[in-house]
Amino acid sequence: MTRKLKRIRSWINAQWLKIKPGKQAVRGASRTLLGAVVLCWLIFSFRLVLGIKDPWILVFAAAMLLLFWLSSLLIVKAIKLLNSIPKGLKVALFTSIPLLFFMFDNPIIAIVFIVIVSLLGASIFVLRKTGIKSLTRIKKGIVVLGLLLGIGGLVFSFVSYSTEGYDVDKMVNAAHQSMDKIEPLQFESPATKGMYAVNQLTYGSGNDKRRVEYGKDATIKTESVNGVPFIDNWEGFSGWAREKIWGFDYKELPINGRVWYPEGNGPFPLALIVHGNHSMQDHSDPGYDYLGELLASRGIILASVDENFINGGWTNIFGGLDEENDARGWLLLEHLKVWHEWNDKSNNPFYKKIDTSNLAIMGHSRGGEAVAIAAMMNKLPYYPDDASIKLDYNFNIKSVVAIAPVDGQYKPGNSGTKFKDVNYFVIHGAQDADVRSFMGSQQYERIAFKDSAYYMKSGLYVYGANHGQFNSTWGNNDQGFSFTGMLNLKQLLTEEDQQEIAKVYISAFLDATLKDKKEYLPLFVDARKGKNWLPETIYLNQFEDSTNELISGFDEDFDVITTTKKGKINSKNLTVWREEEIKLKWQQKGSRALVVGWNYELEDEEEAIPNEKLASYSIQIDSNTVVIDSSKAFVFSMAESTESSNPKTKGKWVDDNEINESNDEEEKEEETEKDEKDEEDEKDEPKQPIDFSILFEDFKGESIQFALSDFSPLQREMESVIMKVDFLTGDKESEKIFQTFYFPIKKVSEKNPSFDITNLKKITYLFDKSRKGVVVIDNVGFMNVLE
């Protein structure tokens, strides 16, 4: 065999020598190519000069030509240097680099690994094979240094990997500063186990060859469904392997689920929950047992839907399912269809036990987008991407829960998923290393309330919560790789605490929307209402309901002095003022908002802000467009923007010549030292939350003024460090997360009994407390009080 291979290689080399270009041919090709391209470049440049009549173009063209010529020399030098690397080391590098990138998905970790291991290996081999005595003094020093660096790097890496993580900059919990002003709800936690005994069963095809609970041990047998219209790329090696693993293809998708249900006659509300994308052979559907046990004990049937067969796996390296979230949502509707059939079959364990007028669907990760897709599809007669596919389900889905969802993987008609008249709750964690942006807040913006019934939508952002711990089988490794130690877990909540938060909020949401227990609603505006139930961390709540009446939503036009309700805007002394689309880490939120900033440059930090310098933003109310009385609450959403609060003191706004004329060197040095000291002080001490006043004025001249901190000062933008290597690079994760501010009119009116809210004339944001800041304000209006 070896001889035959050698003969083949010799024959190939001989054929190559017959056609290999000679030196003159190579020289001619290179010179002709270079000359032709330079000539074309000169012609191109002269034509530009003649067309634009600007001779400076020739200078630019010459500089470009020189730059590319020098670059080519450097590239040739780099290739020559690479060729000088010994063959063994080249093979090791070209094998190691792709494998390290595949394992770690981080170039810094890969480079550090290569350097440390290479130094250590080189030093050990030299000492063992050559010996220290035979080396020159310089090489002895190099070997010792390499050994020390290699061992030191290895020890540092091991210690760094073994620790749970590192501390981040101190951060003040803004809501704590007004904790004494908030009365917590005084009844039983919604996470308390209920009165019902809990039973369990599974349903499935009966033919599942991998999971007996959906095969021969399934209590209820179900028919498979054809997913061809909704699934792409179940083909090639990936499709073949997927079929071999599961024993079926996309024409026979099983209806599998595990159920926790209360013992009793019912009828009980029904909730379905579906997992997201995870390794398909590491089954995800058992991971919501903590919710199943709780909800069933409180009188709600919970079914955890199995969709592992459309998850990713090792076979996806050769291609896999593409944008399958519409299939995930459609499968949920097929499950609901089966449940409706069971409710009408006298021989079924769930006969007449399901309250089909009170249905909820819940999802995690990709499942969190799937439930929004299902809510949309539920009301559509046909599949929006292929109208030959009939849908027309029309189930009574009242509530949707999204846990750390993605958004936009499936876009019906190349647009975001929209639905209306359904209650919505989304929860996300700041320490999420998988879905690192609060994508559920985008879906939040695309939900509308149109009919006369009561609906609500709420978003909850939790500091310290990650992606995986909402599922008890996923755990604390959000990245899916084996090396969990590369994640910074120091700020991570315990799994028990994270699941307790999910239990409190999801149980309260389902009780409020499926059982009409409206007493839980204040919890969705303010987590402090549940301080007796919830673990200690920072919570940000966003809330709207169908009673909301906007005065200014900032989406109506590009005129910054108009409002949604035909009012007018006035401002004073603002250093930042604009309206713009809200930008998240990955995408746009889907809503425009007001951005305002102020900056008081006072010599003494304790000095009172002069009235003539106070910054303010006022909304003039058109009294004919809004009805307000003491049964309402004033509401708006707000987040901090970390941009400069005084942008016009640098860059294009500053004339350097004027600065040089007005300041001598000594003054500039003093200013520099002061700025550096201020920066150091800010690093040592956490930034205090932002506070300011709100002023109401009526048409009779009466007014009331109250502080933002009467509810809560504004939480500073939260920063998270997801990976340990990010401490070296200084990378921090943050984005604009909104908090709803809620002020019952009856309560704030106590400050001036003569004030008449029914004749409200003007609302003013008066920036009189924090010395500087930039805030993003959205959805200013009034709603019915929740208490």
Q: What pLDDT digit, counting tens, does each position of 199-237 carry?
A: 999 999 988 888 999 999 999 999 999 999 999 888 888
Instruction: Output the DSSP codes for 115-179.
Output: HHHHHHHHHHHIIIII-STTS-HHHHHHHHHHHHHHHHHHHHHHHHHHS----------GGGGGG
Question: CA-to-CA distance for 118 and 93, rounded, in angstroms?
Answer: 10
Buried b (16+ CB within 10 A) or exposed e, 223-242: ebbebeebbeebeeebbebb
Q: What is the DSSP string of 619-688?
A: EE--TTS----TTEEEEEEEEE--S-S-GGGSGGG--HHHHHHH--HHHHHHHHHHHHHHHHHHHHSPPP
| pLDDT of amino acid 684 | 65
In the prediction, which pLDDT does 685 show?
Answer: 82
Whole-structure pTM value: 0.89
Residue where the block lists tokens 């090639």: 236
Each residue's pLDDT tens digit, 548-570: 999 999 988 898 988 888 889 99
Tokens of 158: 């091991």
Nearest CA among 336, 287, 338 for reference residue 308: 287
Tell me what pLDDT residue 662 has.
47
- DSSP annotation string for 231-259: -----HHHHHHHHHHHS--TTSB---EEE
Identify the segments of the chain with pLDDT beneath 50: 659, 661-662, 668
31 forms beta bridges with: none
Q: What is the pLDDT of residue 604?
A: 65
Q: Which residue has the tokens 């291979």?
A: 5
pLDDT at 605: 67
Which is nearest to 283 in space by CA: 256, 260, 259? 256
- DSSP for 22-49? -HHHHHHHHHHHHHHHHHHHHHHHHHHH
pLDDT of residue 659: 46
Specify the 3-state DSSP secondary structure of 588. Answer: strand
